[in-house]
Amino acid sequence: MENPIKRKTNLFFSDIVGYSKMIANNESHTLDLLKEHDIILKKEINAKEGTIIKHIGDAIFAEFPSINNAVEASIAIQKELSHRNSIYRGKDQFNIRIGLHQGDIVEKDGDLFGNDVNICSRIESISLPGSIAISNQALEQLNGNWYTHEYGKVKLKNIPAPQTIHRIYIDKADFQKTRHEDLINRLLDLNINIVNPDEKFEDDIETIGFMYPQNLGKAEDDFFCHSFLEQLIGDFSKIEKIRTSDMFEVGRYKNVDLSISELALKLSVSNIIQMSIINTEDNFKINLRLISMDNGDELIQETWSGKHNEQQKISGNIIIKIADIFNVELTEELKKLFNRENNVDNQAYKKYLEGKFLSDNMSNAGDLERSQQLLEEAIDIDDEFAEAYSNLGMTQNLLGDFEDAEEMLETALDLAEDSENDYALMTIYNHLGIYYKGRKKHKKAIRYFEQGIKLLKIYQDDLMEAKFLHNIAGSYSRIGDHDRALDFLYKSQKINKKLERPLGDNYSEIGVRYKELQKYDEAITYFNQAIKIYKSEGKNFNIARVEIIKSGIYITIGDFDKSIKSLDRAKMVAEEFEDELMDGRIMLCYANIHYTQKKYDKSKESITNAIDHFQNINNNNLILESMILLIQLHLETSDFDLANKVFKKCNRISKRVKDPIILSALKTLALDEKLNID
């Protein structure tokens, strides 16, 4: 191992715009383009005496002997790619972003570490397609005259001090094509965080990312790797001075071959936790390493082991140790929470973890039923296990067993309050709020959300508080208090912005609130902002969900062309998931549009497809909703025999449905005199 060398250098990062989507659409062709990309960039980097440190997928990390060399190479690259793209068309074109910075690094084992490496990587991420972004620090060292526009002060993800960033244009003609105000508007449109120069930010935050834990046991034990990682990330969220990547971010790179330093750049963090876990019948063992990306040093290498019901305590012990290394002081309340003994039976806890995993991460038909079985078995073993009752209630809620769900959730609350189990209460209050919100009992939902928010303030869990505020907003909106609903959403947004969390869900929910206020232009604006963020995160499932809501708005205002286009986009995005529920909802939306347009044959075809999807996942609520539309269609086309036949099926299915809204719709339909009801 080489001795680390500290020095100043000129840094270069680049990546291909939309590379992940290109790979998904045509992997073979995209890899051919990547080879051409590498040849072009290598030639120009070498021509200006640059050194490629490494390739990170489609990204290139390099350094140069001077910032002038780095800029000249960058301009040469963008000019050559611009000329190339003028010759090629469509799928044969590609664009890159380039970010440049000058700063101090630590060279160790052929890699470069340090905060300035992180800064350069973040600068590249906010460069516009086909352009070059450069830090003010680097620009001030640049000799000669260059065409530039200033972004302003930009808050880069997980970089405490905002950076002044500039765009360098490849020539005068390129510069003259863009007005400064147009550049700023485009940056804001892309949700680049341009801040007030006087705005203050915390400068003593530690950031941690995670490699998805390596499972050293059987394949079916992966649920425990997921559960422990979720526990650890959830516990870290209670510490104001430490921020971590979330489960979605970590999951994106679960099966991607990246080194520790490469993953840190992808996650925009200064430290990485690497874990391997072996899970046995009664115990588990975790090997954990904490590596600093400031210098490549290993800060922790340690092993923890225990029974499954000690998961919370072991997670707490790990966090206490890491907080001590970072000189982060924990409150007495948090120390007490992290050291709390869990008296739940070990086998019951293991079944609970697996059942919760299946319910939270449904991927196959029957996962919910298997989750219910495991959670019931956990309760049979330990009938005072509050979290098992709560998660069983939420699983039953998803299955449509609402009365049983309510009983389980109320039992969970009684048990947690009797045992003063704050750890469980944080989750149970949220579950109860979500349940009663879904059952349209909004005042009751609000009461539970408010109790949760009060408890969270004791433990300073900002991230969970943002989720509660987000959820409570929906209930206030449903009782007609839209101003208060928006106020809660803006508070949630403020917390997420402070924590540098993505704002897609906030924008989406604000869009829903404006939709309910019938302010459709504002709703569409927020939905489009949400979609842009979801695209940057690769959250295609959320994109499809928002496009479906947009489609509903366009139906309401009679713009069927835009409604169809939104559904077409949702369908295209959803194709990669093979998600029966999403596919069924899309088909049902198509059916409603065609029905409204009196295109009854197309509507019937879409209804049939929707029912097929819902039957595959045994979702009787949506099967019944689809069949009610089918009855209405048959009545419109005077197919009374078919209408009666479908109605009889609906009556049979309704015995397994407890949703009052759908049952009320069926009851209203039964009053139609065209139906021959015995």
Q: What is the 3-state secondary structure (H, E, C) of 575-586?
A: CCCCCHHHHHHH
Check whether 674 has a pLDDT greater than 90: no
pLDDT in tens, 497-540: 888 888 899 999 999 989 988 999 999 999 999 998 888 777 88
Q: Which residue has the tokens 């499932």?
A: 541
Distance of alpha carbon 641 from its chain centroid, rounded?
A: 48
Alpha carbons within 13 angstroms on the beta-carbon side of residue 310 total 13
pLDDT at position 617: 84
Task: Report how far residue 515's alpha carbon sits from residue 533's, in angstroms, rounded to the nearest whole number.
Answer: 20
Question: Length of the chain in residues, anyone?
Answer: 678
Q: What is the mean pLDDT of the chain?
A: 91
Check whether 292 has a pLDDT greater than 90: yes
Two tokens, residue 262: 């490469």
Mean pLDDT, residues 136-146:
95
Cβ(513)–Cβ(486) under 8 Å?
yes
Task: Report how far residue 203's alpha carbon sits from residue 194's, in angstroms, rounded to the nearest whole number.
Answer: 18
Task: Report how far residue 315's alpha carbon sits from residue 303's, in angstroms, rounded to the nearest whole number.
Answer: 12
Give the containing element (helix H, strand E) for 235.
helix 222-236
Task: Report how far residue 666's alpha carbon sits from residue 230's, in angstroms, rounded to the nearest whole number.
Answer: 42
| b/e sequence 255-289, b meaning 16+ C-beta within 10 Å | eeeeebbbbbbbbbbbbbbbbbbbbeeeebbbbbb
Residue 137 confidence class, pLDDT cut points 50, 70, 90: very high
Task: Report how far residue 205's alpha carbon sits from residue 270's, in angstroms, rounded to the nearest whole number.
Answer: 10
pLDDT in tens, 464-475: 899 999 999 989
Using alpha carbons, list the distances in angstroms from residue 389 to 3, 48, 256, 382, 435.
Answer: 55, 65, 36, 10, 14
Residue 177 confidence class, pLDDT cut points 50, 70, 90: very high
Mean pLDDT, residues 545-549:
93
Cβ(285)–Cβ(308) under 8 Å?
no
pLDDT at position 498: 84
Task: Report how far residue 309's alpha carbon sits from residue 344's, in angstroms, rounded to the nearest whole number.
Answer: 6
pLDDT in tens, 39-69: 999 999 999 999 999 999 899 999 999 999 9
Least confident range of 145-154, 377-386, 633-642: 633-642
pLDDT in tens, 3-32: 789 999 999 999 999 898 898 889 999 999
Least confident range of 168-177, 266-275, 494-503, 624-633: 494-503
pLDDT at position 293: 93
Two tokens, residue 190: 């892309």
Domain 5-195 sits in CATH 3.40.50.300: no
Task: Report how far residue 602's alpha carbon sits from residue 586's, in angstroms, rounded to the nearest whole number.
Answer: 14
Question: Which amino acid is residue 276, in one-letter code?
Answer: S
pLDDT at position 677: 61
pLDDT at position 2: 63
Check whether 319 has a pLDDT greater than 80: yes
pLDDT at position 537: 78
Task: Report how far residue 545's alpha carbon sits from residue 585's, in angstroms, rounded to the nearest whole number.
Answer: 9
Two tokens, residue 227: 């559960």
Q: Give the pairing type, strands 96-108 and 132-135.
A: parallel
Q: What 3-state DSSP class applies to 285?
A: strand
- DSSP character at residue 328: P
What is the residue extent of each domain of the chain?
A: 5-195, 206-338, 594-678
| % residues pLDDT > 70 (the chain) | 99
Cβ(24)–Cβ(576) under 8 Å?
yes
Check whether 71 has a pLDDT greater than 90: yes
Task: Report how far residue 542's alpha carbon sits from residue 232's, in angstroms, rounded to the nearest whole number.
Answer: 25
What secondary structure, in 3-state letters, does 139-156 show? HCCCCCCCCEEEEEEECC
Between 478 and 274, the higher pLDDT residue = 274
Task: Report how far residue 111's alpha carbon sits from residue 51's, in angstroms, rounded to the nearest whole number.
Answer: 12
Residue 134 confidence class, pLDDT cut points 50, 70, 90: very high
Q: Give the pairing type, strands 214-215 and 163-168.
A: unpaired
Residue 678 confidence class, pLDDT cut points 50, 70, 90: low
Q: Look up the pTM and report it.
A: 0.81
Residue 566 confidence class, pLDDT cut points 50, 70, 90: very high
Q: What 3-state DSSP class applies to 478?
A: helix
Check whether 396 has a pLDDT greater than 90: yes
Check whether 274 has a pLDDT greater than 70: yes
Which of 286, 299, 304, 290 minimizes the C-alpha distance to 229?
286
Which of 552, 490, 547, 542 minimizes the C-alpha distance to 518?
552
Cβ(244)–Cβ(315) under 8 Å?
no
pLDDT at position 89: 87
Which of 463, 468, 443 minimizes the C-alpha distance to 453?
468
Domain 206-338 sits in CATH 3.40.50.10610: yes
In 245-383, where do the E strands start and end?
271-279, 283-292, 298-307
- DSSP character at residue 326: T
Task: Report how far residue 169's alpha carbon sits from residue 486's, in angstroms, rounded to the nearest whole number.
Answer: 41
Residue 449 confidence class, pLDDT cut points 50, 70, 90: very high
